[in-house]
Amino acid sequence: MANDFAQRLITWQRQHGRHNLPWQVRNPYCIWLSEIMLQQTQVATVLDYYPRFLARFPNVKQLAQASQDEVLQLWAGLGYYSRARNLHIAAQQIVHDFGGQFPQTRVQLEQLKGVGRSTAAAISAFAFHQRETILDGNVKRVICRVFALSGSLKDRAFEQHLWQFAQNLLPEKPKDIPAYIQGLMDLGATICKRSKPLCNACPMNDICQAKAQKLIDELPRKNAPTPIKTLTLFWAIIRRKDGAIFVHKRPQKGIWAGLYCVPCFEQLSELNQFCQTHQLPENGEEQAPFTHRLTHRLLEIIAFEYHVTQDFRLPESEWIMYHHQQSPLGLPKPLQQYLSQTNPKKAK
């Protein structure tokens, strides 16, 4: 059945799969960039960011030479910012440790910052036709359904079983590897979807064990949902007459690491203390709360506007002036949205 599965998938992909994605090339740099961007992100969103990023950093050497701020600025709004930081570090690894040449094997690729086994396998398969399988969420779903494999996706032993099972499904000929791997991605994304799968259009329709056993809705086994925690943040929007605000670069760990943000606090008392220390006007204008969803956290953000004179300064050197209509910076998405919706107000 393994050979049948692989051949069906290759034939289907060549006839019905996706063939016009801009990263469907042999260039390992382009493939690597797309694979990192596509982690936890929809193709439609990546199609917007990918060409702009590639135009600014057309090769790994230029990416390695860039500053972290440049990289994060282009990534701003795409989310999961650790991906951008790791991408930058990995580019420097390729230049320094591999002489600027992309490693070709999965094991070598896994040495790069932010590159796990599945991502490394995709790069080696697409760029170098190595016989390596991927195992992202879509692929796990396809395999579990077609072969009626039951187990918790959070169980390490079951995941190892899936890796070995998926490896055994690979076609023998290296030239078939790209179509096969792309077929796995396409089938999971467009046909064997999490809900309302298009079974009648599936090339595995007549051999799918989950369909035969009426287990489509049960496989793969559902994990208990991760509870969503709410975190309230208080922002100080310190705005000059010209509309510029004070921002600083956040630490390299934690929420929005490495991005530029306004003064941000988890306690209202901390915000008040900051205002007293820097002699900000009393009674900042409290704005309507708004929310921003992260993967496992819901942010409730309450901004306070403080209007200051043109010569107002914060004594710490890390604070800089930013005007959203001038030079771009890497800002958290909710701050971008807030600034685009609020008009600068004149200080009285």
- Is there a contact between 169 and 159 (Cβ–Cβ < 8 Å)? no
Q: How far is it, in rounded angstroms, from Cα 30 to Cα 345?
A: 44
DSSP state of 342: S
The 10 Å Cβ neighbour count of residue 259 is 23
- Is there a contact between 214 and 45 (Cβ–Cβ < 8 Å)? no
Report the greatest alpha carbon distance in the chain: 76
Cβ neighbours of residue 32 closer than 8 Å, sequence gap 6 or more = 90, 102, 115, 119, 123
ω into 227 cis (within 30 of 0): no
- The C-alpha R_g of the chain, in whole angstroms, comes to 24
Residue 321, beta-bridge partner list: 246
Q: How far is it, in rounded angstroms, from Cα 240 to Cα 85?
A: 31
- Is there a contact between 63 and 76 (Cβ–Cβ < 8 Å)? no
Residue 211, beta-bridge partner list: none
Cα dihedral sign for 169, 171, 177, 179? negative
* Chain centroid to CA 80: 5
DSSP state of 281: P
Cβ neighbours of residue 302 closer than 8 Å, sequence gap 6 or more = 232, 233, 234, 235, 286, 287, 289
Both tokens assigned to 240: 């000059």
Cβ neighbours of residue 214 closer than 8 Å, sequence gap 6 or more = none
305 counts as catalytic: no
Which is catalytic among the residues 35, 110, 218, 305? 35
State the catalytic residues: 35
